[in-house]
Amino acid sequence: MAWLPRLQIALFAIVIVGMLLLIFGHLGSGWSAITYFVWGMVISVGVLLLNLIVSGVIAIFQPRLRKVSIWIAAVSVVMLVGLVVLWRMA
């Protein structure tokens, strides 16, 4: 396996960690909740942008993995939007 798909899988795992911080922030209250929310958003959005860039590079240079790469990026975006909507409703 080439290093680009491995990088995308690692970035997806880091996005999951950022989303876990968002969930911990949702469960807490006060300044700790805000801290978890900020760190979760910084990690999730930053790594999500890197994930989208890597997805584009994979789609260009490795056509065999194009669908998988785009699906990983799409799932990451949908999960992040879902958690942000959850935060807005709370």
pLDDT one-digit tens code per residue, 2-50: 888 888 889 889 989 988 988 888 888 888 888 988 998 899 889 999 9
Q: Is residue 73's pLDDT more than 70? A: yes
Cα–Cα distances in Å, from 68 out to 8, 15, 20, 56, 80? 10, 17, 23, 12, 18
User: Count of alpha carbons within 13 Å of 30, Cβ hemisphere only?
Assistant: 1
pLDDT at 52 over 80: yes
CA distance 34 to 14: 20
Whole-number pLDDT of residue 50: 92
Q: Per-residue pLDDT for 90 more than 70?
A: no
Asked if the model's pLDDT at residue 87 lies above 80, the reply is no
pTM, to two decimals: 0.80
